[in-house]
Amino acid sequence: MFQNVGELMKANSTKEISFDTIVCFGDSNSDIGNVYKLSDSKWPIDPPYYRGRYSNGKIWIDKLGISNIIDYAYGGATTDNNLVRGSTIFNLTVPGVRQQIAMYKNTIHSRKINYHRTLYVIWIGQNDYYFNIALAFAPSIVVQSIVNGINDLIEIGAKNILIINLPPFEAYPATAVFNAHDLLKKLTLDHNNKLLNSVRLLQANHSKISFEIFDLYSLISNILMNTTAYGINSTDKCWDTPHYTVIPLCSTPDTYLFIDQFHFTTRVHQFIADAMRKFLIKWKGHFRFHRSIFSV
């Protein structure tokens, strides 16, 4: 059965996610103020960016409905600074996911953690390829770096780990300059398939831990294939951001997929949160990845 993303949220609005804490590691897709603090409130510029988010409003993690948010994501982050250095405005180094997990590990002695009620999320990978294009020909290296981060979480004691796969890299305004649509599409698919196989292996080796992949690729692909039905511009960016400034190019951000060359609008983050909430409500405690079907 095909359902509108909004209808999915409405249908599950009275149901509860079984987690009360979310601990997130990643890049600007999940950053809710870490780079803003690191840069002394210089980036992302507020306004028009929203309170340290890389969007024009709240992002998926704000909208998900889990009350306790512990967020280590930094804009410009990579999987591991020992593989590819992550950076942001003023060429400031930001912690990669493995460094973020190490930061979290240093705090857990002072936390009372209910691991069964805590969801660990990793959304990372795009910046590794963007900062080092040579890795586009070796996605297994980036995927293994993600797996290294997952293993770090396992060592900490994580019981529920959600990994978000990559959206269609070739659709981003930032990648248009490469004139490499087919290569970037192949890269995204290769990355996601290798990630899927790696997580399957992790599940086989760790039966007492629950792993899941949230299929962001299919969600965004569906929007791209149904732009008229969504009433959304999927090719242009609403803002231009040369040299860490912001030049508005549109007056209706909610009709755009991308707020700038790298990031989704808050409306798209709502789609992500709605679909992820439905996904988490059905969390069964064992790996069950399948290609989700989203439609309007």
Structure tokens at 41: 């409130």
What crossing angle do the helices spanning 216-225 and 266-281 adopt, rounded to 10°? 130
Cis preceding-peptide flag for 47 (omega within 30 of 0): yes
Tell me if the pTM is above 0.85: yes
**35: helix, strand or coil:** helix
Q: pLDDT under 50 in the chain at which residues?
A: 1-14, 290-296
**166: helix, strand or coil:** coil
End-to-end CA distance of the chain: give it in Å, rounded. Answer: 11
Count the Cβ atoms, other than its own, within 10 Å of residue 286.
11
Q: Which domains does the chain have, with CATH numbers?
A: 5-217+266-281 (3.40.50.1110)
118-123/160-164 β-pairing: parallel
pLDDT digits (tens, 9 = 90+) for 132-157: 999 999 999 999 999 999 999 999 99
Count the Cβ atoms, other than its own, within 10 Å of residue 45.
16
**121: helix, strand or coil:** strand
Beta bridge partners of 239: 248
Report which of 162, 276, 173 is spatially closest to residue 224, judged by C-alpha positions: 173
